[in-house]
């Protein structure tokens, strides 16, 4: 585990320290209580000692630098190649803030760093800023202050549940090199069954535009509703399982790429979904007029079916476990073969689960299952 070495408060009057000498180079193995550097305040020179044995992973300061109390001076790890937190820890006093409270707990500091949040951007529920305080902000239960780094979308409502031990071990294993662990997988499939299915659906409902892509996206919503672990995101080591399937779809108009979100997609039958999506897309095309309030997506779908593209690797949006990229070249050597690609968070979904999802999407649902409630035939 990587721990920060912070500039200590040595007396009540000094809010700043002066780095006098750095005695250990990055990468060096250090013994417990070995002096890493010397700092100076108005009244004294203090040795900064290693709290345990390990490796000095990185220095955050240089000699002759003046830094506030609480600044991270260096990082100490158990292994020489251990990964640092994704974002530098914000400056904060670990001892005595002006309001008499204490700084964040170590776990809270790690979570803050992972999400690029400053400690003063998170309301504290107790004497110290705790993990639950950070989770409250990330989950939207506490207002997200304007000073904090705003995600593209707020987090959709859901419940939080701990990862099972095996899942937690996997999350840690695949996260060794970075905060997120996005993987990609694809499946090639014959397009004829889907094309025939969409054509029959359009004929049955007298649709104006081809429903192929919306029906594929609706099938993703069906999967997400029955696989809540895939309609989720990770908060620390908690799985945040969404209450509903809010399906995001990328839609291009000229040079503009829109992201429209079908809220509570699991409640819509295929025709309802196709109509709802078409309505939202038209609203987006109408230069934003009449756009509904932004709904936080929980899962995503993107298609390049109008292009002679045989592979489409979508970017995984924030707060999502999987995003599907669809390609179905209308011309060229790959005509007749479609590709369903999945960018997914490997901490939440294992490879075999994504493979099963892609196989599920590659086949249209049986005709009797796609009959919507309004279809009396």
Residues lying near other proteins in the complex (CB under 8 A) are found at 205-213, 251-254, 275-276, 278-279, 281-283, 285-286, 289, 306
Closer residue to other proteins (CB): 91 or 372: 372
**CA atoms lying within 13 Å on the CB side of residue 187:** 18
Closer residue to other proteins (CB): 9 or 276: 276
| H/E stretch holding 165 | helix 165-174
The closest alpha carbon to 77, from 24, 176, 25, 2, belongs to 2
Q: In what order do the strands lie in the sheet with 66-68?
A: 45-49, 35-40, 16-22, 66-68
Closer residue to other proteins (CB): 52 or 282: 282
The closest alpha carbon to 29, from 76, 82, 83, 63, belongs to 76
CB 358 within 8 A of CB 187: yes
Hey, is 105 helix, strand or coil?
coil
* Nearest-approach distance from CB 208 to other proteins, in angstroms: 5
The residue with tokens 């707020």 is: 154
Closer residue to other proteins (CB): 209 or 226: 209
| H/E stretch holding 166 | helix 165-174
* Nearest-approach distance from CB 312 to other proteins, in angstroms: 15
Closer residue to other proteins (CB): 174 or 207: 207
Closer residue to other proteins (CB): 276 or 319: 276
Closer residue to other proteins (CB): 68 or 292: 292
Question: Could you tell me which residues come within 8 angstroms of residue 59 by beta carbon, excluding any fewer than 6 positions away?
Answer: 22, 26, 73, 74
Report the Cα 376 to chain-centroid distance in Å. Answer: 42
Closer residue to other proteins (CB): 47 or 264: 264
Closer residue to other proteins (CB): 102 or 305: 305
* Nearest-approach distance from CB 281 to other proteins, in angstroms: 5
Q: Is 153 left (phi over 0), alpha (psi -120 to 50) or beta?
A: beta
* Nearest-approach distance from CB 313 to other proteins, in angstroms: 21
* Nearest-approach distance from CB 365 to other proteins, in angstroms: 20
| H/E stretch holding 299 | strand 299-303
| H/E stretch holding 253 | strand 247-253
* Nearest-approach distance from CB 306 to other proteins, in angstroms: 4
DSSP 304: -
Hey, is 333 helix, strand or coil?
coil
Report the Cα 81 to chain-centroid distance in Å. Answer: 24
- Please state, in angstroms and rounded to a whole number, the distance separating the CA atoms of residues 38 and 212: 67
- Please state, in angstroms and rounded to a whole number, the distance separating the CA atoms of residues 179 and 171: 10
Report the Cα 325 to chain-centroid distance in Å. Answer: 17
* Nearest-approach distance from CB 374 to other proteins, in angstroms: 9
Closer residue to other proteins (CB): 198 or 348: 198
Question: Could you tell me which residues come within 8 angstroms of residue 319 by beta carbon, excluding any fewer than 6 positions away?
Answer: 151, 153, 155, 156, 233, 240, 296, 297, 298
């Amino acid at each position: 585990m990587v721990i920060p070495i912070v500039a200590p408060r040595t007396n009540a009057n000094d809010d700043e320290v002066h780095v006098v000498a750095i005695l250990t180079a990055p990468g060096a193995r250090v013994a417990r209580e070995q002096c890493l550097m010397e700092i100076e305040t108005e009244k004294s020179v203090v040795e900064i000692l290693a709290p345990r044995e390990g490796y000095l992973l990185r220095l955050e300061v240089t000699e002759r630098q003046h830094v506030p109390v609480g600044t991270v001076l260096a990082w100490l790890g158990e292994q020489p190649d251990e990964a640092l937190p994704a974002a530098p820890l914000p400056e904060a006093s670990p001892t005595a803030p002006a309001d008499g409270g204490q700084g964040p707990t170590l776990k809270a500091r790690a979570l803050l760093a992972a999400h690029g949040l400053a400690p003063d951007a998170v309301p504290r529920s107790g004497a110290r800023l705790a993990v639950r305080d950070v989770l409250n902000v990330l989950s939207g239960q506490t207002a997200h202050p304007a000073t904090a780094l705003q995600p593209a979308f707020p987090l959709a409502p859901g419940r939080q549940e701990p990862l099972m031990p095996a899942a937690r071990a996997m999350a840690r294993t695949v996260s060794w090199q970075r905060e997120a662990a996005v993987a990609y997988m694809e499946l090639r499939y014959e397009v004829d069954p889907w094309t025939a299915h969409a054509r029959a659906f359009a004929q049955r409902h007298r649709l104006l535009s081809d429903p192929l892509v919306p029906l594929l996206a609706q099938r993703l919503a069906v999967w997400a509703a029955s696989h809540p672990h895939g309609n989720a995101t990770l908060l620390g080591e908690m799985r945040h399982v969404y209450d509903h399937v809010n399906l995001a779809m990328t839609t291009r108009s000229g040079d503009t790429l829109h992201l429209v979100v079908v809220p509570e997609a699991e409640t819509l039958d295929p025709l309802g979904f196709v109509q709802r999506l078409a309505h939202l897309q038209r609203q987006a095309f109408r230069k934003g007029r009449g756009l509904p309030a932004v709904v936080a997506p929980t899962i995503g779908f993107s298609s390049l079916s109008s292009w002679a593209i045989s592979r489409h690797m979508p970017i995984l949006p924030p707060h999502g476990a999987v995003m599907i990229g669809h390609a179905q070249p209308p011309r060229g050597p790959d005509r007749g073969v479609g590709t369903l690609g999945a960018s997914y968070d490997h901490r939440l979904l294992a490879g075999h689960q994504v493979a099963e999802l892609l196989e599920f999407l590659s086949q249209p649902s049986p005709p009797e299952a796609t009959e919507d409630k309004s279809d009396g035939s």
